[in-house]
Amino acid sequence: MEPEPVLESLRNAVAAMPDDVPLRLHLATLLLRAGQRDEAVRHLGAVLQRDPGNGEALAMLTASAEVTGQHPAPSADPPVSSERTVAPAPDSASSAVVPDAAAASPDPADGDPDRGAAAPPAGSPGDDTADGARRAGDDVTASYDWSQAEAELRDVLPSMFVGDAGSTSAGLDEARAYDAEHAGLTLDDVAGMTEVKKRLEAAFLAPMRNPELRKLYGKSLRGGLLLYGPPGCGKTFIARAVAGELGARFITVSFADLIDMFVGRSERNIHELFEVARRNSPCVLFLDEVDAIGQKRSQLRNTPMRSAVNQLLLELDDVASDNTGVFLLAATNHPWDVDSALRRPGRFDRTLLVLPPDGPAREGVFRYHLRERPVAGIDLAKLAKITDGYSGADIAHICETAAERALLDSVQRGEPRLIGQADLEAAAAEVRPSLGTWFDTARNVALFANEGGAYDDLVAYLRKRRLI
């Protein structure tokens, strides 16, 4: 334990020379020895602000987190090393980690649109700690220096999974309708989901990749692939990966784009979309939330929407007959609402069930959503285990909730702290899986509407999970 006068004089010296990195490091070392972790973290943060690659500061910061009982993952996720964080170019180790991280994150557009709208309060109603934190948070919010906290946290604390994520996440949020882009992803970038990949390979990719064999067996390229499954489970991301596998450009048509089509002259808009796809061949044309455009015509009262469906059918037949290198992919949460005409041979005649992420995929999703947050000691394997049955969007919500908890706690204590395993576990206990309603409907489909075995894979999954 260092005597207080020494610390005091060092504090004064740092105040006089705030840019002196070695001095701050020395003070932080002594503060850590004296058990004054929070002040030490603050000084380490200041060091990293001035010298973001300072390995000593990073190591001390990680060590300080461990000291407080936030233990790092046993083996799968070693503590952040200065090499990993500092190195601007990906080395072999980091590049092995990062693609999975980015790959497993579901496209937000595929998730429940409500999820990100408002985060729930930290802690459950019966959680005294959380309630206390909230109450205390209310008391100190007015006096809390948010700008200082932000300044201390921003670009300072190393995130657990930092690496060169740019190459894999590029374009995820930049996809625009009518813009053909290279997806830059492959199925290897999709963490876990082995079964889905296998079925995708067999049903779609193998015939696409082997034109000679295809000719030999007389296999045509007619028809598209309809991805279906619960919301927030990565259908859009997989579609991008398929485009990457085929080396094709990727055009995504979102729900908002579809709505815009209905508002204008829908037939012309849809025709224009397919023309753009043909001009950009080889190209994957991905219709997200296709139930919006391909809804059973009997359910559509709106005349422009009916004509839009008819035009879509016409274009699909054109694509099938011309086969100009336009590969059709579509995704829906409700395949049972899709007009059966759209699912006839030559149109979207193959389906692929994309289920909630499996263990490795969940780890990947956690990794992705925590990678730019100040975290320490995260046991991803354990988190993946306790979130069985959660969608990717649910996991994103858990990360948000955990961040909120840590933030509220920081407000209460008056200084920032790292997000720990306990925050994430508490958030996981608080956030319930959002897929219940979808599975209720899926159960009805499996029990009553599985005519012709169209949903046999869904039935098998529900049986395996004892849901029917």
Partner 1 sequence: MTETGDLTELRQELARAATMLDLGRYDEASNLLARVVSAEPGSSRAWCLFARAHLGADRYQAAVDAANRAAAIEPAEEWPHRLASNALMHLGNHAEALRAAAESRRLAPSYWQTHVCVAQAALAASQPALAAAAAAEARRLAPNEPDVHFLSGKVALARSDLDGARTHQERALALDPAHSGAMNELGRIRLRRHDTVGAIKHFINAARTTPGEHIYSRNIDVVILRTLSRMIYIFVLVALIMLWIPAVAHIDRFPFAVGFGVLVAGTMAGFTILVLRMPQEARRLVRRTLRTRRVVTALAVALGGVAAAFAAVAFVPSAELPQTLPIAIIVTIAARMAATARLRSTAGRNQPGPPVGRNQPSPPIGRG
CB of 175 to partner 1, least distance (A): 18
CB-nearer residue toward partner 1: 103 or 393: 393
> What is the spatial distance between Cα 17 and Cα 24, in angstroms, rounded to a whole number?
9
CB-nearer residue toward partner 1: 186 or 295: 295
Is 133 within 8 Å of 405 (Cβ atoms)? Answer: yes
CB of 110 to partner 1, least distance (A): 15
Residues of this chain that interact with partner 1 (CB under 8 A) are: 113-114, 117, 255, 259-260, 262-263, 292, 295, 298, 300-302, 304-305, 334, 336-337, 440-441, 443-445, 447-449, 468
Q: How many helices (H) and strands (E) does the chain have?
A: 22, 6
CB-nearer residue toward partner 1: 343 or 405: 343
Is 284 within 8 Å of 242 (Cβ atoms)? Answer: yes
CB of 251 to partner 1, least distance (A): 22
Tokens 């048509």 appear where? 253
CB-nearer residue toward partner 1: 280 or 295: 295
CB-nearer residue toward partner 1: 71 or 296: 296
CB of 216 to partner 1, least distance (A): 41
CB of 391 to partner 1, least distance (A): 17
Instruction: Encode burial over 385-411: b for 16+ CB neighbours within 10 A, e otherwise.
Output: eebeebbbbbbbbbbbbbbbbbbbbbb
Q: Strand, coil or helix: what is 127?
A: coil
CB of 259 to partner 1, least distance (A): 5
**395 contact partners, CB below 8 Å, separation of at least 6:** 357, 362, 365, 366, 369, 387
CB of 240 to partner 1, least distance (A): 23
Written in H, E and C, the secondary structure of 364-384 is HHHHHHHCCCCECCCCHHHHH
CB of 16 to partner 1, least distance (A): 53
CB of 6 to partner 1, least distance (A): 58
Q: Please give the torsion angle defined by the CA atoms of residues 30, 36, 38 and 42, in that order, rounded to the nearest 10 degrees.
A: -30
> What is the spatial distance between Cα 445 and Cα 442, in angstroms, rounded to a whole number?
5
Question: Longest Cα pair distance anywhere in the chain, in angstroms?
Answer: 86
**At residue 434, what is the residue type?**
S
> What is the spatial distance between Cα 446 and Cα 223, in angstroms, rounded to a whole number?
25
CB-nearer residue toward partner 1: 235 or 362: 235
> What is the spatial distance between Cα 42 and Cα 45, in angstroms, rounded to a whole number?
5
Tokens 């037939």 appear where? 267
CB-nearer residue toward partner 1: 187 or 341: 341
CB-nearer residue toward partner 1: 319 or 459: 459
CB-nearer residue toward partner 1: 4 or 114: 114
CB-nearer residue toward partner 1: 40 or 396: 396
Side-chain half-sphere CA neighbours of 441 within 13 A:
11
CB of 113 to partner 1, least distance (A): 6
User: Among 221, 302, 207, which residue's Cα sits nearest to residue 258?
Assistant: 302
